[in-house]
Structure 1
Protein backbone atom coordinates (compact mmCIF):
# COMPACT_ATOMS: atom_id res chain seq x y z
CA UNK A 1 0.00 0.00 0.00
CA UNK A 2 1.09 3.55 -0.81
CA UNK A 3 0.61 6.05 2.01
CA UNK A 4 0.33 9.70 1.00
CA UNK A 5 1.00 12.00 3.96
CA UNK A 6 0.23 15.65 3.31
CA UNK A 7 -0.05 19.07 4.88
CA UNK A 8 -1.30 22.24 3.23
CA UNK A 9 -1.82 25.84 4.33
CA UNK A 10 -3.23 27.37 1.15
CA UNK A 11 -4.63 24.35 -0.68
CA UNK A 12 -1.77 23.74 -3.12
CA UNK A 13 -0.16 20.75 -1.38
CA UNK A 14 -3.58 19.26 -0.67
CA UNK A 15 -4.50 19.51 -4.38
CA UNK A 16 -1.18 17.88 -5.26
CA UNK A 17 -1.76 15.04 -2.77
CA UNK A 18 -5.30 14.47 -4.06
CA UNK A 19 -4.03 14.36 -7.65
CA UNK A 20 -1.45 11.74 -6.63
CA UNK A 21 -4.22 9.80 -4.88
CA UNK A 22 -6.34 9.77 -8.06
CA UNK A 23 -3.39 8.42 -10.01
CA UNK A 24 -2.58 5.78 -7.41
CA UNK A 25 -6.15 4.51 -6.97
CA UNK A 26 -6.19 2.89 -10.41
CA UNK A 27 -3.00 0.94 -9.67
CA UNK A 28 -3.37 -0.47 -6.18
CA UNK A 29 -4.00 0.15 -2.54
CA UNK A 30 -3.47 3.72 -1.41
CA UNK A 31 -4.26 5.76 1.68
CA UNK A 32 -4.33 9.56 1.96
CA UNK A 33 -3.76 11.00 5.44
CA UNK A 34 -3.25 14.51 6.71
CA UNK A 35 0.06 14.84 8.55
CA UNK A 36 -1.81 15.57 11.80
CA UNK A 37 -3.64 12.22 11.54
CA UNK A 38 -0.84 9.91 10.38
CA UNK A 39 0.56 7.57 13.04
CA UNK A 40 3.49 5.16 13.26
CA UNK A 41 1.00 2.31 12.76
CA UNK A 42 -0.11 3.86 9.46
CA UNK A 43 3.49 3.98 8.25
CA UNK A 44 4.14 0.41 9.38
CA UNK A 45 1.13 -0.74 7.35
CA UNK A 46 2.41 0.87 4.14
CA UNK A 47 5.05 -0.31 1.69
CA UNK A 48 5.88 3.17 0.42
CA UNK A 49 5.36 6.83 1.22
CA UNK A 50 4.67 10.00 -0.70
CA UNK A 51 5.30 13.07 1.45
CA UNK A 52 3.52 16.20 0.18
CA UNK A 53 3.84 19.61 1.82
CA UNK A 54 4.50 23.28 1.24
CA UNK A 55 7.82 24.92 1.73
CA UNK A 56 7.46 27.68 4.33
CA UNK A 57 10.36 30.01 5.09
CA UNK A 58 12.77 27.70 3.31
CA UNK A 59 11.77 24.52 5.17
CA UNK A 60 8.90 22.05 5.22
CA UNK A 61 5.76 23.29 6.95
CA UNK A 62 5.60 23.02 10.73
CA UNK A 63 2.76 20.50 10.68
CA UNK A 64 4.78 18.20 8.42
CA UNK A 65 7.81 18.57 10.69
CA UNK A 66 5.62 17.72 13.68
CA UNK A 67 4.47 14.56 11.86
CA UNK A 68 8.09 13.49 11.46
CA UNK A 69 8.81 14.43 15.10
CA UNK A 70 5.96 12.16 16.31
CA UNK A 71 6.79 9.21 14.10
CA UNK A 72 10.57 9.23 13.72
CA UNK A 73 11.75 7.41 16.84
CA UNK A 74 8.89 4.88 17.07
CA UNK A 75 9.76 3.76 13.51
CA UNK A 76 13.54 3.86 13.71
CA UNK A 77 14.81 0.48 12.49
CA UNK A 78 11.27 -0.62 11.54
CA UNK A 79 10.78 0.66 7.98
CA UNK A 80 14.25 0.47 6.47
CA UNK A 81 14.38 -0.04 2.71
CA UNK A 82 10.86 1.13 1.99
CA UNK A 83 10.25 3.43 -0.95
CA UNK A 84 9.51 7.14 -0.75
CA UNK A 85 8.99 10.19 -2.92
CA UNK A 86 8.25 13.85 -2.29
CA UNK A 87 6.08 16.57 -3.76
CA UNK A 88 6.65 20.15 -2.59
CA UNK A 89 4.47 23.20 -3.19
CA UNK A 90 6.84 26.16 -3.23
CA UNK A 91 6.94 29.87 -3.85
CA UNK A 92 10.38 29.50 -5.36
CA UNK A 93 12.63 26.43 -5.51
CA UNK A 94 11.45 24.11 -2.70
CA UNK A 95 14.98 22.89 -2.07
CA UNK A 96 14.96 23.64 1.67
CA UNK A 97 11.94 21.41 2.28
CA UNK A 98 13.43 18.69 0.05
CA UNK A 99 16.72 18.73 1.97
CA UNK A 100 14.96 18.61 5.33
CA UNK A 101 12.82 15.62 4.37
CA UNK A 102 15.82 13.89 2.78
CA UNK A 103 17.79 14.19 6.03
CA UNK A 104 14.95 12.69 8.05
CA UNK A 105 14.25 9.75 5.75
CA UNK A 106 17.97 9.02 5.49
CA UNK A 107 17.81 8.17 9.19
CA UNK A 108 14.94 5.80 8.47
CA UNK A 109 17.01 4.32 5.59
CA UNK A 110 14.22 4.82 3.05
CA UNK A 111 14.86 4.54 -0.72
CA UNK A 112 13.95 7.45 -2.99
CA UNK A 113 12.14 6.06 -6.05
CA UNK A 114 11.60 9.32 -7.94
CA UNK A 115 13.23 12.69 -8.22
CA UNK A 116 11.57 15.26 -5.97
CA UNK A 117 8.59 16.95 -7.59
CA UNK A 118 8.47 20.67 -6.87
CA UNK A 119 5.61 22.86 -8.03
CA UNK A 120 6.77 26.47 -8.07
CA UNK A 121 3.76 28.73 -7.64
CA UNK A 122 5.85 31.91 -7.66
CA UNK A 123 4.23 33.46 -4.58
CA UNK A 124 6.66 36.11 -3.36
CA UNK A 125 4.62 38.85 -1.70
CA UNK A 126 2.93 38.44 1.71
CA UNK A 127 -0.48 38.63 0.01
CA UNK A 128 0.40 36.02 -2.61
CA UNK A 129 2.01 33.72 -0.05
CA UNK A 130 -1.06 33.76 2.20
CA UNK A 131 -3.62 33.49 -0.63
CA UNK A 132 -5.43 30.29 -1.54
CA UNK A 133 -3.58 28.60 -4.40
CA UNK A 134 -4.69 27.02 -7.64
CA UNK A 135 -2.23 24.45 -8.94
CA UNK A 136 -1.87 24.47 -12.75
CA UNK A 137 -3.27 21.46 -14.56
CA UNK A 138 0.13 20.42 -15.93
CA UNK A 139 1.53 20.28 -12.38
CA UNK A 140 -1.47 18.29 -11.15
CA UNK A 141 -0.88 15.86 -14.03
CA UNK A 142 2.70 15.36 -12.82
CA UNK A 143 1.39 14.62 -9.32
CA UNK A 144 -1.19 12.21 -10.76
CA UNK A 145 1.51 10.44 -12.76
CA UNK A 146 3.80 10.23 -9.73
CA UNK A 147 1.03 8.61 -7.67
CA UNK A 148 0.15 6.24 -10.50
CA UNK A 149 3.70 5.11 -11.18
CA UNK A 150 4.52 4.79 -7.47
CA UNK A 151 1.45 2.64 -6.78
CA UNK A 152 2.07 0.54 -9.91
CA UNK A 153 5.69 -0.06 -8.87
CA UNK A 154 4.58 -1.15 -5.40
CA UNK A 155 1.93 -3.45 -6.87
CA UNK A 156 4.50 -5.06 -9.19
CA UNK A 157 7.04 -5.43 -6.39
CA UNK A 158 9.51 -3.15 -8.18
CA UNK A 159 10.06 -1.23 -4.95
Structure 2
Protein backbone atom coordinates (compact mmCIF):
# COMPACT_ATOMS: atom_id res chain seq x y z
CA UNK A 1 0.00 0.00 0.00
CA UNK A 2 1.45 3.39 -0.92
CA UNK A 3 1.52 6.47 1.27
CA UNK A 4 -1.40 8.02 -0.64
CA UNK A 5 -3.76 5.17 0.24
CA UNK A 6 -6.28 6.17 2.92
CA UNK A 7 -8.42 4.00 5.19
CA UNK A 8 -12.02 4.54 6.24
CA UNK A 9 -12.81 2.33 9.23
CA UNK A 10 -16.50 1.60 9.81
CA UNK A 11 -17.12 0.27 13.31
CA UNK A 12 -20.53 -1.12 14.17
CA UNK A 13 -22.47 -2.98 16.82
CA UNK A 14 -26.00 -4.31 16.51
CA UNK A 15 -28.16 -6.90 18.19
CA UNK A 16 -31.18 -6.47 15.95
CA UNK A 17 -29.45 -5.70 12.62
CA UNK A 18 -30.42 -2.02 12.16
CA UNK A 19 -26.98 -0.53 12.89
CA UNK A 20 -25.30 -3.26 10.82
CA UNK A 21 -27.58 -2.48 7.87
CA UNK A 22 -26.75 1.22 8.21
CA UNK A 23 -23.02 0.44 8.33
CA UNK A 24 -23.31 -1.76 5.24
CA UNK A 25 -25.20 0.92 3.29
CA UNK A 26 -22.53 3.47 4.27
CA UNK A 27 -19.72 1.12 3.18
CA UNK A 28 -21.42 0.25 -0.09
CA UNK A 29 -21.77 3.94 -0.92
CA UNK A 30 -18.14 4.67 -0.03
CA UNK A 31 -16.98 1.74 -2.18
CA UNK A 32 -19.09 2.96 -5.10
CA UNK A 33 -17.52 6.42 -4.89
CA UNK A 34 -14.05 4.87 -4.55
CA UNK A 35 -14.68 2.89 -7.73
CA UNK A 36 -16.01 5.94 -9.61
CA UNK A 37 -12.91 7.90 -8.63
CA UNK A 38 -10.56 5.03 -9.47
CA UNK A 39 -9.01 5.13 -5.99
CA UNK A 40 -7.34 2.29 -4.11
CA UNK A 41 -8.29 3.44 -0.60
CA UNK A 42 -9.32 0.86 1.98
CA UNK A 43 -12.84 0.73 3.37
CA UNK A 44 -13.00 -1.66 6.29
CA UNK A 45 -16.20 -2.60 8.12
CA UNK A 46 -15.79 -4.38 11.45
CA UNK A 47 -17.88 -5.31 14.43
CA UNK A 48 -16.78 -3.29 17.46
CA UNK A 49 -15.52 -6.51 19.08
CA UNK A 50 -13.13 -7.19 16.16
CA UNK A 51 -11.39 -3.82 16.01
CA UNK A 52 -7.72 -3.67 16.98
CA UNK A 53 -5.61 -0.79 18.24
CA UNK A 54 -3.37 -1.03 15.15
CA UNK A 55 -6.36 -0.62 12.83
CA UNK A 56 -7.58 2.39 14.79
CA UNK A 57 -4.18 4.06 14.68
CA UNK A 58 -3.75 3.37 10.96
CA UNK A 59 -7.23 4.55 9.93
CA UNK A 60 -7.63 8.02 8.43
CA UNK A 61 -11.37 8.38 9.18
CA UNK A 62 -14.00 6.63 11.30
CA UNK A 63 -17.69 5.92 11.01
CA UNK A 64 -19.37 4.64 14.17
CA UNK A 65 -22.72 2.83 13.78
CA UNK A 66 -24.52 1.75 16.94
CA UNK A 67 -27.93 1.39 18.52
CA UNK A 68 -29.18 3.37 21.42
CA UNK A 69 -30.08 1.15 24.37
CA UNK A 70 -31.79 2.68 27.39
CA UNK A 71 -30.81 6.25 26.38
CA UNK A 72 -27.11 5.47 25.86
CA UNK A 73 -24.77 3.59 23.54
CA UNK A 74 -25.15 -0.16 23.38
CA UNK A 75 -22.93 -1.97 25.84
CA UNK A 76 -20.64 -3.48 23.18
CA UNK A 77 -20.04 -0.09 21.53
CA UNK A 78 -19.41 1.54 24.89
CA UNK A 79 -16.97 -1.28 25.70
CA UNK A 80 -15.19 -0.57 22.38
CA UNK A 81 -14.71 3.08 23.39
CA UNK A 82 -13.66 2.09 26.93
CA UNK A 83 -11.13 -0.42 25.58
CA UNK A 84 -9.33 2.05 23.30
CA UNK A 85 -10.00 5.48 24.78
CA UNK A 86 -6.68 6.11 26.50
CA UNK A 87 -4.57 4.42 23.81
CA UNK A 88 -5.99 6.78 21.19
CA UNK A 89 -5.92 9.90 23.33
CA UNK A 90 -3.44 12.26 21.71
CA UNK A 91 -2.91 9.96 18.71
CA UNK A 92 -5.87 10.58 16.38
CA UNK A 93 -6.54 14.31 16.68
CA UNK A 94 -8.15 16.00 13.72
CA UNK A 95 -9.18 12.83 11.90
CA UNK A 96 -12.66 12.98 10.36
CA UNK A 97 -15.54 10.95 11.75
CA UNK A 98 -19.27 10.60 11.66
CA UNK A 99 -21.87 8.45 13.37
CA UNK A 100 -25.13 6.70 12.69
CA UNK A 101 -27.32 5.88 15.68
CA UNK A 102 -30.30 3.56 15.33
CA UNK A 103 -32.99 4.08 17.93
CA UNK A 104 -36.51 2.99 18.72
CA UNK A 105 -37.68 6.49 19.47
CA UNK A 106 -35.05 9.09 20.35
CA UNK A 107 -31.33 8.35 19.98
CA UNK A 108 -30.11 11.67 21.38
CA UNK A 109 -28.59 10.14 24.53
CA UNK A 110 -26.41 7.71 22.58
CA UNK A 111 -25.41 10.38 20.07
CA UNK A 112 -24.39 12.83 22.81
CA UNK A 113 -22.38 10.12 24.53
CA UNK A 114 -20.57 9.18 21.31
CA UNK A 115 -19.89 12.80 20.38
CA UNK A 116 -18.42 13.53 23.83
CA UNK A 117 -16.03 10.60 23.47
CA UNK A 118 -15.01 11.76 19.99
CA UNK A 119 -14.53 15.29 21.33
CA UNK A 120 -12.13 13.85 23.90
CA UNK A 121 -10.17 12.23 21.08
CA UNK A 122 -10.28 15.59 19.25
CA UNK A 123 -11.83 13.96 16.18
CA UNK A 124 -13.43 16.22 13.59
CA UNK A 125 -17.12 15.55 12.86
CA UNK A 126 -16.84 16.24 9.13
CA UNK A 127 -20.24 14.77 8.30
CA UNK A 128 -23.12 15.47 10.68
CA UNK A 129 -24.20 12.36 12.55
CA UNK A 130 -27.69 11.00 11.95
CA UNK A 131 -30.26 9.10 13.98
CA UNK A 132 -32.36 6.49 12.24
CA UNK A 133 -35.61 5.93 14.14
CA UNK A 134 -37.07 2.43 13.90
CA UNK A 135 -40.23 3.36 15.86
CA UNK A 136 -39.85 0.35 18.15
CA UNK A 137 -41.80 0.82 21.36
CA UNK A 138 -43.01 -2.52 22.66
CA UNK A 139 -40.79 -5.26 24.04
CA UNK A 140 -41.53 -7.38 20.97
CA UNK A 141 -40.70 -4.55 18.56
CA UNK A 142 -37.52 -3.62 20.43
CA UNK A 143 -36.17 -7.18 20.46
CA UNK A 144 -37.23 -8.09 16.92
CA UNK A 145 -34.77 -8.16 14.01
CA UNK A 146 -34.90 -4.81 12.20
CA UNK A 147 -34.92 -3.64 8.65
CA UNK A 148 -34.42 -0.06 7.51
CA UNK A 149 -36.54 1.81 5.01
CA UNK A 150 -35.15 2.78 1.62
CA UNK A 151 -35.00 6.39 2.87
CA UNK A 152 -33.04 5.39 5.97
CA UNK A 153 -30.62 3.30 3.91
CA UNK A 154 -30.15 6.26 1.56
CA UNK A 155 -29.39 8.51 4.55
CA UNK A 156 -26.78 6.04 5.81
CA UNK A 157 -25.32 5.77 2.30
CA UNK A 158 -25.01 9.55 2.10
CA UNK A 159 -23.09 9.66 5.40
CA UNK A 160 -20.70 6.92 4.24
CA UNK A 161 -20.15 8.38 0.79
CA UNK A 162 -19.65 11.90 2.07
CA UNK A 163 -17.23 10.80 4.81
CA UNK A 164 -15.23 8.82 2.25
CA UNK A 165 -15.09 11.91 0.01
CA UNK A 166 -13.35 13.76 2.88
CA UNK A 167 -10.42 11.38 2.64
TM-score range relative to shorter protein: over 0.9
Note the residue ranges of structure 1 that are not aligned, 5 or more in a row: 155-159
**Shift of residue 11, structure 1, vs aligned partner:** 0.5
Which of 7, 11, 15 in structure 2 is aligned with 1:5? 11
State how far apart, in whole Å, the 1-side matches of 2:154 and 2:123 are: 25
- Check if 1:142 corresponds to 2:148: no
- 3-state SS in 2 of match to 1:115: coil
- 3-state SS in 2 of match to 1:31: strand
In structure 1, the residue matched to 2:45 is: 32
**Shift of residue 132, structure 1, vs aligned partner:** 0.5
**Shift of residue 93, structure 1, vs aligned partner:** 1.7
- Check if 1:127 corresponds to 2:133: no
The 4+ residue runs of structure 1 with deviation greater than 6 A are none
Note the residue ranges of structure 2 that are not aligned, 5 or more in a row: 1-6, 35-40
**Shift of residue 29, structure 1, vs aligned partner:** 2.3
- 3-state SS in 2 of match to 1:146: helix
- 3-state SS in 2 of match to 1:36: helix
**Shift of residue 40, structure 1, vs aligned partner:** 1.6
State how far apart, in whole Å, the 2-side matches of 1:96 and 1:45 are: 29
State how far apart, in whole Å, the 1-side matches of 2:157 and 2:80 are: 23
| TM-score using structure 2 length | 0.90
- Check if 1:17 corresponds to 2:23: yes
CA RMSD after TM alignment: 0.8
Q: Deviations over 1:133-152 (max 9, x none)?
A: 01101110111121111112
| TM-score using structure 1 length | 0.94
- 3-state SS in 1 of match to 2:68: strand
In structure 2, the residue matched to 1:94 is: 107
State how far apart, in whole Å, the 2-side matches of 1:137 and 1:6 are: 20
Q: How many residues align?
A: 154
Q: Which structure has the larger Rg?
A: 2
State how far apart, in whole Å, the 2-side matches of 1:61 and 1:34 are: 13
- 3-state SS in 2 of match to 1:148: helix
State how far apart, in whole Å, the 1-side matches of 2:128 and 2:49 are: 25
